[in-house]
C-alpha cells in the first residue's frame, strides 16, 4: 500500500478545531484517487476502521485516540473550478470558506451567508451545512463518491435527498467531488448579505475559543437547541476545561486544556436537562470518534 504522507500515532488534537483528541494509529493524506482507492481497499480487506477527518471541525475525538486510519483529503483533493456560466466544480478537500470567497469574486449569488462556516466541502455537503437560511445543497447538481472497495460512483441531485443537517449519501462511501449550478448575483447585494452573515457570526458565536461548532442539531419546533440549553440554566456550566458557552449555549468551548471526557460530560448533561424540562431529545450534530460503545449508549437514547 502506498500513500504520499503517512504519520503513525499522530495526535489528532493537532488536527481538530476543538484541540482535543488522542492519537490516530495512522493518519494518511492520499495523493490522488488511485492512492485513496488502494487505501480503502486495504482497510476494507483487513477490517481496519477508518474515518475522514476533513478540516477537523464538527468532530470530537476520544482522549485515547482512534485505532485505525484517519484519512484527510484537505491537502491534496483541492481542485476548484468556476466556469463562465457559474458552475462550480470542487473536490471534497476544498475548504468551504475558500469556495464561498471564490464564488463571491465570480459574482455568484446565494452562497455568501455560508462565509465563515468551517470545514471542507466534502463534510459540508454530506451534513448539508447551512447558515442564516442558506444551505450548501441549494445548488447541488451531482457528486462523485468512492466506495470502501475503491470504486467510483456518481449521484445526481435527483438521487440525493437533503434535509436539515442531513443528506442521503451512503455512509460507507466517501465524497470525492461535487458540482453546483449557481446563478449570477448582484455584487452590491452579495456584499451586503456577506457582511450581515459575518457580523451575526461574530456577535452570536464564541469565536475566541476553540470549539467544534454547534454541538446539537436544532430540534423540530419553534426553539433552537441553544435556547433550550440556556433555558435549562446551563450557560457557563463547566466540567474540567470545557464550558457551555456564555455567548451561545449550543457551543461547548475548550476553555483551557479540556479533554474529550470533559466535553462528553457536558453533552450528556445538556441532553438530560433538556429532556427532563422540555421532553425533547437533542440530537448530536458533532460526530464522536473513537469513543467506547458503552459511552455512546449513554447519550444515544430515544
210 noted as active-site residue: no
Beta-ladder partners of 145: 153, 175
Helix (H, G, I), strand (E, B), or coil: what is residue 46? helix
Look at phi and psi of residue 21 and say left if phi exceeds 0, alpha if psi is from -120 to 50, else beta.
Answer: left
Which candidate in 55, 134, 137, 214 is catalytic?
214
| DSSP state letter for 218 | P
Which candidate in 165, 173, 177, 194 is catalytic?
165
163 noted as active-site residue: no
Look at phi and psi of residue 165 and say left if phi exceeds 0, alpha if psi is from -120 to 50, else beta.
Answer: left
* 66-71/50-52 β-pairing: parallel
Q: How far apart are CA 101 and CA 106, in angstroms?
A: 9
Q: How far apart are CA 106 and CA 3, in angstroms?
A: 35
Task: Render the burial of 130-143: b for 16+ CB within 10 Å, e for the rest.
Answer: bbeebbbbebbebb
285 noted as active-site residue: yes
Judge contact between 176 and 202, C-beta under 8 A: no
Residue 74 vs residues 31, 191, 285: alpha-carbon distances, Å: 10, 27, 21
Catalytic residue list = 165, 214, 285
Amino acid at each position: 500500500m502506498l500513500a504520499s504522507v503517512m504519520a503513525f500515532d499522530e495526535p489528532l488534537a493537532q488536527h481538530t478545531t476543538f484541540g482535543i483528541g488522542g492519537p490516530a494509529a495512522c493518519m494518511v493524506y492520499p495523493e490522488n484517487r488511485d492512492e485513496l482507492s488502494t487505501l480503502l481497499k486495504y482497510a476494507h480487506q483487513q477490517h481496519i476502521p477508518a474515518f475522514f477527518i476533513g478540516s477537523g471541525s464538527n468532530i470530537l475525538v476520544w482522549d485515547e485516540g482512534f485505532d485505525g486510519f484517519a484519512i484527510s483529503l484537505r491537502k491534496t483533493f483541492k481542485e476548484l473550478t468556476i466556469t463562465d456560466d457559474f458552475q462550480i466544480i470542487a473536490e471534497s478537500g476544498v475548504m468551504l470558506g475558500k469556495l464561498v470567497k471564490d464564488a463571491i469574486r465570480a459574482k455568484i449569488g446565494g452562497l455568501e451567508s455560508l462565509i465563515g462556516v468551517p470545514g471542507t466541502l466534502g463534510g459540508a455537503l454530506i451534513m448539508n451545512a447551512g447558515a442564516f437560511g442558506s444551505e450548501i445543497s441549494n445548488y447541488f447538481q451531482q457528486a462523485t463518491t468512492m466506495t470502501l472497495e475503491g470504486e467510483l460512483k456518481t449521484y445526481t441531485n435527483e438521487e440525493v435527498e437533503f434535509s436539515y443537517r442531513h443528506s442521503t449519501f451512503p455512509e460507507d462511501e466517501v465524497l470525492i467531488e461535487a458540482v453546483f449550478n449557481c446563478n449570477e448575483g448582484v455584487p452590491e447585494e452579495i456584499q451586503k448579505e456577506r457582511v450581515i452573515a459575518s457580523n451575526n457570526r461574530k456577535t452570536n458565536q464564541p469565536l475566541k475559543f476553540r470549539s467544534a461548532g454547534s454541538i446539537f442539531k436544532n430540534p423540530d419546533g419553534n426553539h433552537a437547541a441553544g435556547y433550550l440549553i440556556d433555558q435549562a440554566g446551563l450557560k457557563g456550566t463547566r466540567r474540567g476545561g470545557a464550558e457551555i458557552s456564555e455567548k451561545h449555549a449550543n457551543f461547548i468551548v475548550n476553555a483551557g486544556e479540556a479533554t474529550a471526557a470533559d466535553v462528553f460530560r457536558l453533552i450528556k448533561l445538556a441532553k438530560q436537562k433538556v429532556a427532563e424540562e422540555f421532553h425533547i431529545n437533542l440530537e448530536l450534530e458533532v460526530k464522536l470518534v473513537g469513543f467506547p460503545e458503552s459511552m455512546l449508549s449513554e447519550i444515544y437514547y430515544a
